[in-house]
Chain A
Amino acid sequence: MACEWSAKLDAYVDGELSSSESTALAAHLRECTSCATYALGLVQMKRSIAAAGKRYQPGAEFRGKIQKTIGSKRRRDGSWYWKIVAIPAALVLILSVTVNLYVNREKARRERVYSELTDLHVATLASGSPVDVVSTDRHTVKPWFQGKIPFSFNLPELQGTDFSLVGGRVTYLAQSPGAHLIYRLRQHEISVFIFQDRGDGTAALASTPISRLSFTVESWTKNGLRYFVVGDVGAQDIESLSKLLRDAG
């Protein structure tokens, strides 16, 4: 861990670096095995804690009790402490807080999905064995996922294009399993992620290629599946692979 970047890796995976630093570090990760390995470990640890940490559920009875504490009952009581809250302040509060909550949540969620996918992309390529099924043949790769993920998908014929299939692996986004396929274009690897579309507003994600850090991401839904294409190639290349996938799906 002698690398000068190593001290920034935690902040990087936590999404706390400035965009210029993130871009530089993302580029560095493609060249530095020690940083990439450490970043991969961090990403895995973050996911494990997130999954393991959501553990305790309050009972319905207790929820009712809390609702009574803060809800209508107090209101009917005409409790004294509300009288000191001025209306204008409260109105501004409602607006600013709810709007900010919404905007931040949306932004955070979108950012999170993209950063999780770009992290996965980088981490997977940095790991010793990026794919679990190694094949350039879509007829081998597609059935390999059977029984490993709760849906099936179609992959495009690549003959006559510059793209080639490297292989695939099972991956997770917010605890739901999906397919991670790796394609190659010239010297570049491109990740294709396929998940079930949970209709949770992921529709807000870009349908035209957007650039995030040094990566271009394109996303769309088709037949109940959500696709993400992530790579460090230009928007045009991402779009052509996306078109091939759309036509096949």
Chain B
Amino acid sequence: MEVPDQRLSAATFEELALPLFEQLYNFAHWLAQDAAEAEDLVQETYVKALRGFSGFQLGTNFRAWMFRILRNTFLTSRTGLKSTVVSDEEIETIPSAAPNPETVLIERANREMVRQGLTELPVPFREILLLCEVEEMSYEEIAQVLTIPVGTVMSRLFRARRALRSLLVEKFKGVQNGV
């Protein structure tokens, strides 16, 4: 039986791209902080990816490619432009507290606290933590999504964790002091 080429390719794209739907939506919503905007971002991502699929390189990580399209779409959206006034070089200089000895703190911090902390983090920190912990991407995949070197992934991740930890320390102290 002959399979028409359009059908085969469309089926391939659908097979690869549809399983990523929920992950992409979650990531989009975290970036945009708004449901309607997240839907627009995901919709646009799929349209762009479908259009660019023929140029998709064999051996490239498909998931990283999709996330990269989504992120670039976000960066050029109105919310994205507003949230990322900092350049990659500037991110590296955002101060973050030294590691806190109260490590058990994170275990005690409840999920809502962690959610709030993530929301308050600058986008570059928020996105790298989500890609690493929620999407469980390797440094290499993250580097592909963010189009930065692996070394930068490591240092930014390190800084992001520090930043979140110090936010949580503040929140946790607030709760303990009955604020």
Contacts and interface: CB of A to CB of B under 8 A. Distances in A.
A158 B9 CA distance: 61
Nearest to A52: B114
B132 to A, nearest CB: 7
A2 interface: no
A46 B43 CA distance: 30
> Looking at chain A's contact residues, is the secondary structure mostly helix, strand, loop, or mixed?
helix
Interface string B51-65: 101101011001000
Nearest to B115: A52
A15 B139 CA distance: 10
A66 B44 CA distance: 10
Interface in A177-210: none
Interface of A: 1, 10-11, 14-16, 37-38, 40-42, 44-46, 48-58, 62-63, 65-67, 69-72, 74-75, 78-79, 81-87, 89-94, 96-98, 101, 108, 112, 127
Nearest to A6: B99
Interface centre among A67, A70, A97, A112 (most CB of B within 10 A): A70
Interface of B: 5-18, 21-22, 25-26, 29-30, 35, 38-39, 42-43, 46-47, 50-51, 53-54, 56, 58-59, 62, 98-99, 101, 103-107, 109, 111-112, 114-115, 118, 129-130, 132-134, 136, 138-139, 154, 157-158, 161, 164-165
A62 B106 contact: no
| Most chain B beta-carbon contacts within 10 A, residue among A45, A52, A69, A83 | A52
A14 B132 contact: yes
A56 B5 contact: no
Report whether over half of chain B's contact residues are helix, strand or loop; otherwise say mixed.
helix
Nearest to A126: B103
A38 B25 contact: no
Given A69-B43, A82-B6, A48 B103 contact: no
Nearest to B130: A53
A54 B47 contact: no
B6 A45 contact: no
Contacts of A38: 99, 103
A14 B139 contact: yes
Contacts of B26: 53-57
Contacts of A15: 138
A87 B14 contact: no
Given A58-B42, A70-B17, 13 more contacts: A14-B157, A37-B103, A44-B103, A46-B132, A48-B107, A49-B114, A57-B22, A62-B42, A65-B43, A85-B9, A90-B8, A94-B15, A112-B136
Given A56-B26, A57-B25, A90-B8, A49 B50 contact: no
Residue among A38, A82, A83 with the most chain B CB within 10 A? A82
